[in-house]
Amino acid sequence: MQSELVEITFDVRRIEVEIQWLRPERAQRPLVVFLHEGLGSISLWRDFPRNFCEAGDYRGLVISRYGYGRSTPRPHDEKWGVDFMHRQAREALPALFDALEIGPGRARGIPWLLGHSDGGSIALIYAASFPQAVDGITVLAPHIIVEDLSVTSIAATRQTYLETDLRSKLGRHHDDVDSAFWGWNDIWLDPAFRHWDLRPLLPQLRCPVLAAQGEDDEYGTMEQIEGIHRYAPQTALLKLARCGHSPHRDQPEALTQAAVRHINAHTSYLK
């Protein structure tokens, strides 16, 4: 199915957000919303969202966030602040859901969120901020604190972008690849961002949470998901061997099986 553009108001201006619906005809089934990582887009998920929705018999909504994919690019002179993920979760995502009739009492119902890396952090912020507006979340290699490992790996990615063909590879997936890359890279390497911390927000989580991480994750330690469980004890943990920062690419079958079981176990009308 082709993607489409939806116009919303964000940051006091009109922007377009690229979306793709999966299996919309399954109107009575759970809706899973896919939120990509810091360099991701709809196309960079590849086949995972469709395969996941087919495995669970779900509907899906895949999003390219502001600045990514075919969505409105970030102006090159716009520097994202330390709160950029909070703004995505508390302003951009609610505006998009309003436009698409998603949420309590809305035509398309209350969603499940499935987020990877920065997208996982955004899912955590959204679920903690709007506990009645989400049925549950699955977070893959999320960030709740900034670790030395994360900063070191992101600095290395910066050099790779400057010195190799990474820019041209990413350019296949973004209308403005420099907008996407530098928006993410500059803020993660800003010294002010070292103090970014989601832990005070985590006790506000009320929904079921599945937090997955690879044992070989080059961008974060297991403290990222263990910390979620410490502050939100309803969190189920999935630690994956032979898996780096992208569980949906490195261990798609194990991840899909666990996540589908988790959603089905916590969706009352599926029991």
pLDDT digits (tens, 9 = 90+) for 258-268: 999 999 999 86
Structural domains in the chain plus CATH codes: 4-266 (3.40.50.1820)
For the chain, the average pLDDT equals 97
pLDDT band at residue 269 using 50, 70 and 90 as cut-offs: low
pLDDT tens digits, residue range 25-63?
999 999 999 999 999 999 999 999 999 999 999 999 999
Name residue 24's amino acid: P
Mean pLDDT of 148-159: 98
Q: What is the pLDDT of residue 61?
A: 98
Contact present, 115 and 122 (Cβ < 8 Å) = yes
What percent of the chain lies above the pLDDT cut of 70? 99
Mean pLDDT of 70-78: 95
Q: CA 123 to CA 110: how far, in whole Å?
A: 14
Q: What is the CA radius of gyration of the chain?
A: 17
Q: What is the pLDDT of residue 137?
A: 98
Mean pLDDT of 144-159: 98
Backbone angles phi, psi at 59, to 5 degrees: -85, 160
pTM: 0.97
Does the structure show a pLDDT above 80 at 206? Answer: yes
pLDDT tens digits, residue range 105-129?
999 999 999 999 999 999 999 999 9
Contact present, 118 and 143 (Cβ < 8 Å) = yes
Mean pLDDT of 71-78: 95
Candidates 240, 232, 233; CA nearest to 259 is 240
Does the structure show a pLDDT above 80 at 73? Answer: yes
Q: What is the pLDDT of residue 270?
A: 53
Q: CA 50 to CA 22: how far, in whole Å?
A: 7
pLDDT tens digits, residue range 214-231?
999 999 999 999 999 999
Q: What is the pLDDT of residue 271?
A: 42
Q: Both tokens of residue 39?
A: 């360099």
